Amino acid sequence: MTKTSEKLSALRAAMSHHQLAAFLIPSSDPHQSEYVAPRWETRSWLSGFTGSAGTLLVTQDHAGLWTDSRYFIQGEQQLAGSGVELMKQGIPHAPEHVDWLANNLQTGDRLGFDGRVVSLAQARLLKRKLQPKGIRLEARHDLAGSIWKDRPGMPESEVFDFSVEYAGASREDKIGRIRTWLKEQSADAVLLTALDDIVWTLNVRASDVDYNPVCLSYLLIGTDTAHWFVGKDRIDSTMASTMDKAGVHIEDYAAVEEALSSFPSSKQLAIDPAGLSFFHYELLGSKDLKELGSPVTAMKAIKNETEIAHYRQVMRKDAVALLRLYRWLEGELQKRGVPETEVATQLAQYRSELAGYYGESFGAIVGYRGNGAIVHYRAEEGSCATIQAEGILLLDSGGQYLDGTTDITRTVALGEPTAEECRHYTLVLKGMIALSTAKFPKGTGGAQLDTLARQFLWQDGLNYGHGTGHGVGFFLNVHEGPQGFATSAVTSRGRTAFAPGMVTSNEPGFYRTDHYGIRIENLILCVAGAETPYGEFLQFEELTLFPIDQTLIDQSILTEMEKIWLNDYHQKVWDDVSPLLSDEAELSWLREKCKPL
């Protein structure tokens, strides 16, 4: 089957066989990951929509794909003519498909889904909304998998040790912290399901998921035991010995099911309802469970001094790759048009030449002119735009290095910009500066700070539909919780209070459909500020080191403080990056881009 219509027909036939009125297909895997291995790209395979966020719901006479505003343009393009209707969510991550089910299914109808890829929290929401309507849930069907004949197998990338030289803390120390947490919570064990939580704890990395250096596994930590369900055949003798010394027993991946089924009823197990699959919850039966968030999420969000020192260095290194990319592009555009895909390939090549490079932290977003207005645009060979020496280019990219994860967006003018483009760009820049220079009391959350980045756009009646920032891992997932900048205080990113050591992206934007996209992104580190009579204040330190395009700036709407900030920033870029360069042409380019206003 190659067409979405054929796949939907096969799914509906399977639904009829099992007497299911509707079938739910989320974007997740058994670990509730944001990005998943090819084996669990079921929603993408079935619908044709490749965005990272979306929920597919199929009935006998309707198929809908719910996603948020980041993907509206992409969704409309990819779903056109597929028989799947784009259902636009008003708020990112809002489960609006559940209300649709409650309003459209009938008493006695049955909703099917694969309980392995639906969390306990999601299943409870479905029950709470649907059971009063007389709608029953069936969580044991992997119908999409049954019709996906060439479905990819389980990922089996190399699992390798991540040195404490980079991690800054040993696996023994981290397991000890988790055991201290267990005692504080009066629990006997905790089941870790999030892939990044597990590799952070054990100081290992792999490449089971594109862009995320993680491996498929579960980790069960007790007060005096630890079991890593990863697959004995994936771990070499050296690592097995190292883990044994740390008190970590290596088990097969599927053995977690028996471990949960046989977990002693006399002991209390801590779980995260948002991370535990409904399938595994049912295996636990009537066990004594303590429902808590993962303790690792908060631990790994606070980077230690070793990680922070590496972050500062990796930003200098990453800037060299970006410098070479932009110089290359400027030179090529004097001779020919350059496909968007070629820019992404060339940038990955420049990064790969740097020490400690492991891969991209996400697929580079290279959006020329109107494509830049598609927030999570992905250029494809044969259909992408050809960049010319005119218009605006948005480039959002990042690298995974042993010494850190980078994520940077720059928007540049390739020709003479219009007054409108300059105004919009400068409003975005003013918001980015306002957030970077914020000083705020301890306890302040992302929803409170998010407004700072939007205020100047709002004054012109403008806005953007995505959050202003997300946490970033250390040689881990580029999207990492719990903190961020978001409009809604209901989400983790909106409600989590900032603390020193958190690394977060600052990326306001503006998008004019079919014309251009503007986004400026730096990673910023939360650091301690001043002690005042009103309590402890916090602030941010700029980590990203790369010039901000000045040809798009309307200086007439910048304040003196903003000009000083920009000049100081460019001086820091020059001071930190120029020592890594020896080529006079590269030094000249950087000097020109960092000149003061």
Helices (H) and strands (E) in the chain, counts: 20, 30
Q: What is the mean pLDDT of residues 312-341?
A: 98
Coil, strand or helix: which one is 25?
Answer: strand
pLDDT in tens, 338-369: 999 999 999 999 999 999 999 999 999 999 99
Q: Is the pLDDT of residue 93 over 90?
A: no
Place 137 in a pLDDT band, splitting at 50, 70 and 90.
very high
For residues 68 and 318, the model is more confident at 318
Closest by Cα among 215, 212, 211 to 154: 215
Please report, rounded to a whole number, the percentage of residues in the chain having pLDDT higher than 90.
92
pLDDT in tens, 161-202: 999 999 999 999 999 999 999 999 999 999 999 999 999 999
Place 563 in a pLDDT band, splitting at 50, 70 and 90.
very high
Closest by Cα among 131, 108, 152, 94 to 20: 108
Q: What pLDDT shows up at residue 198?
A: 98
Rounded to the nearest 5 percent, the helix, strand and coil shares of the chain are 40, 20, 35
Closest by Cα among 544, 451, 538 to 497: 538
Q: What pLDDT shows up at residue 7?
A: 95
Asked whether the beta carbons of 577 and 590 are under 8 A apart, the reply is yes
Q: What pLDDT shows up at residue 40?
A: 95
Q: What is the mean pLDDT of residues 430-455?
A: 98
Peptide bond between residue 132 and the one before it cis (omega within 30 degrees of 0): no
Q: Is the pLDDT of residue 376 over 70?
A: yes
Domains, the chain, ordered by start: 4-147 (3.40.350.10), 160-296 (3.40.350.10), 302-593 (3.90.230.10)
Between CA 206 and CA 208 the distance in angstroms is 6
Closest by Cα among 110, 90, 8 to 49: 8
Between CA 35 and CA 477 the distance in angstroms is 9
Q: Is the pLDDT of residue 92 over 70?
A: no
Q: Please report, as a single letter, which amino acid is at residue 358.
A: Y
Q: Is the pLDDT of residue 548 over 90?
A: yes
Mean pLDDT of the chain: 96
Pairing, β 160-161 against β 509-512: unpaired
Closest by Cα among 263, 243, 237 to 199: 243
Please report, rounded to a whole number, the percentage of residues in the chain having pLDDT higher than 70.
99
Can you give the C-alpha Rg of the chain in angstroms?
25
Q: What pLDDT shows up at residue 474?
A: 98
Between CA 402 and CA 405 the distance in angstroms is 8
Q: What pLDDT shows up at residue 452?
A: 98
Helices (H), 203-285: 237-245, 256-261, 278-284
Q: Is the pLDDT of residue 490 over 80?
A: yes
Closest by Cα among 261, 225, 258 to 243: 225
Place 52 in a pLDDT band, splitting at 50, 70 and 90.
confident
- Least confident range from 172-181, 265-274, 317-326, 372-381: namely 372-381
Q: Is the pLDDT of residue 91 over 90?
A: no
Q: What is the mean pLDDT of residues 476-498?
A: 94
Q: What pLDDT shows up at residue 71?
A: 86
Q: What pLDDT shows up at residue 145?
A: 86
Asked whether the beta carbons of 373 and 514 are under 8 A apart, the reply is yes
Q: What is the mean pLDDT of residues 104-113?
A: 96
Q: What pLDDT shows up at residue 1?
A: 64
Closest by Cα among 100, 102, 96 to 127: 102
Between CA 34 and CA 471 the distance in angstroms is 14
Place 89 in a pLDDT band, splitting at 50, 70 and 90.
confident
Residue 217, exposed/middle/buried by CB under 10 A (0-12, 13-18, 19+)?
buried
Distance between terminal CA atoms of the chain?
58
Return the biggest CA–CA distance within the chain.
75
Q: What is the mean pLDDT of residues 15-21?
A: 97
Coil, strand or helix: which one is 65?
Answer: strand
Q: What is the mean pLDDT of residues 99-111?
A: 95
pLDDT in tens, 387-403: 999 999 999 999 999 99
pLDDT in tens, 292-304: 999 999 999 999 9
